[in-house]
Each structure stands twice: as C-alpha cells, then as structure tokens.
Amino acid sequence: MIKKVKFDDVQRKRIIDTAGHLACDFGAKYMACAPGIFEGIAEAFRAEGVELFPIETQKALTSGFIGLHGGVAMSGVGTCGAITASTFLISYVVGVTTEELSKNGNLNYASCVPAVTYIFDRFEETYGASDCLRLRYNRVQRAFDLLDPDARINEELFIMYQPNKCAMIAEEFEGGRDQTPPVQGARWAAEAICDLLAMEPEERKELPLHLRGLGMQEMAPEIMKVAGALTELHFGRPNEKISYRDYWTFKLKGKKGVEESRLGSIKAPKK
C-alpha cells in the first residue's frame, strides 16, 4: 500500500514529462516498449522521492516485462506493451489485494476503470488501436512480424532509412517523440498515478456509482431467484440432449430426418 502523496503542479508536470522521456530512452535502449515504459515511470517517481518499488524488486519486474513486449511475446497480435506496463502500474497503485478480491470480486473494477479511462481509451482515440500490430501500422504504415528474422532485418532497415518514422525514436514525425505510443502511454500512466496517489489508499478502491452492487456475493441471491424462475419455465430446454437445429428437424421430420441431415455416422438420440 502506497500512502497518500500530494504533488504540486510543478512536480506533477515534471513527473509526467520525465516519465515520457525516460520511457523513450529506456525503450530505445532495450528495444522493448513494456520494460522501458515500466522502468521509465518508476524512475520518474523515484526522482521525486516516491519509491513505487524497492530497486531490487523494480529490476526483477522489469525483466518480467520483457516478455510482454510487442503485443505479448513479440507476437504483435496482443495488447501494446505500453498499455500493459501502464495498466500494471495503475493497478498496483490502486492497491486492491488478493484477500480483498477473494471477498469482493467487484473490486476488479477499481483497478480496471482508471486504466481504461487514462490509457486504453486514449490509445484508441489517438492511434485508432490498442493492439501492437494495428497501432504500428496506423502510425507509419509498417507492421513487421517481430518473430520473423527477415522482417527483423527489414525493420532495422526502416529505422535507419526513415528514423523519424520509427515508433520508438521518432524526433520529428507527428510533432516529436512525445507523440510516440510508448512515450504517450508513459505520460498518461504517470498522470493517472499522480491522481491516484493524491487519494487516500482506501479512496482509490471506491467504485463508480453505476458499478456498485455488481459483485457476485451481492447479486447471487437475486440471480438465484431469476434462475429458479427460468428453470420452472424450462427456458432454453435444459433437459434436451440435442441441438436446437436438430430439435426442430426431429419435430418436423422425425429420427430419420435428423440422421439424413447429419454428417458422418452419428446417430440421432433414441428419445
């Protein structure tokens, strides 16, 4: 649990800017967005006297984030590593424990809502994507397969031939490196963390009004009533052992009709 910390406007701006610049520097150094963003944000807060993690823990977690680079394991098809790293940090600062979650599953929302508000939605609005592959393509009309050795050569060629379009190191494309997804993700996450740290620890876990009361422990008694009513109505034909389509074929054409409409040697049910 991280205690309440209130930053003045100058500190807040400095943290956000530092997080962006360090995320870019670390990301280019490691050639990996997720560990670069994670370490850049952590170091930005450390520079202002707020230690999110002990340095040994931070280094160990940075190693773990390497596998979350490039849409999870460099596959390109998963969520951008900048979003993954940022969401992890936001969730950590919100501070919902596993003990609390086991008693109230609705607290998942406490960690997820700020991540969506600050990170996910902004990526979709700014870049039109949140997955690694589309995000890279939308920016520079290049989306190499990061697991293909030949594509890796093409990527290096592209970086050297058009460095200002590189997703990680662009200085001029789209107005400078502050526009690149890793940098923007780090800045948005730093902004979210500043806002969260300004709250009391328990206040960070409070849910928006429209999401309160949706925990399974709270809803189960009422849902059981609805389930009981549906059972009495035989809604969904719970006792039938054949598909809906076969059910109607059986009604209209009988057992022979069902067998004729099936592929292979599967027999129609006897009853």
- In 3-state terms, the chain is what percent helix, strand and coil (to 5)? 65, 0, 30
157 and 226 in one domain? no
Least confident of 7-16, 107-116, 128-137, 243-252: 243-252
Give the three-state DSSP class for 79: strand
Q: What is the mean pLDDT of the chain?
A: 86
Domain with 249 in it: 220-261
Co-location of 225 and 196 in the same domain = no
Residues 180 and 78 occupy one common structural domain:
yes
The predicted model gives 67-71 an average pLDDT of 92
What is the residue type of 234? H
129 Cβ contact list (under 8 Å, min separation 6): 80, 123, 135, 137, 138
* CA–centroid distance for 221 within its chain: 31
Neighbours of 137 (CB within 10 A): 16
CA gap 69, 132 in Å, rounded: 9
pLDDT tens digit sequence for 117-160 = 999 999 999 989 999 999 888 887 888 888 898 988 888 888 77
- CA-angle at 184, arms to 181 and 188, nearest 5°: 135
3-state secondary structure of 41: helix
pTM higher than the cut 0.75: yes
Beta bridge partners of 79: 131
Backbone angles phi and psi of 54, in degrees to 5: -60, 150
Q: Is residue 267 part of a domain?
A: no
Is residue 45 situated within a structural domain?
A: yes
Let me know whether 21 and 155 are in one domain: yes
- pLDDT for 264 beyond 90: no
Q: Is residue 268 part of a domain?
A: no
- Residues 228 and 97 grouped into a single domain: no
The rounded distance, in Å, linking the Cα atoms of 244 and 249 is 9
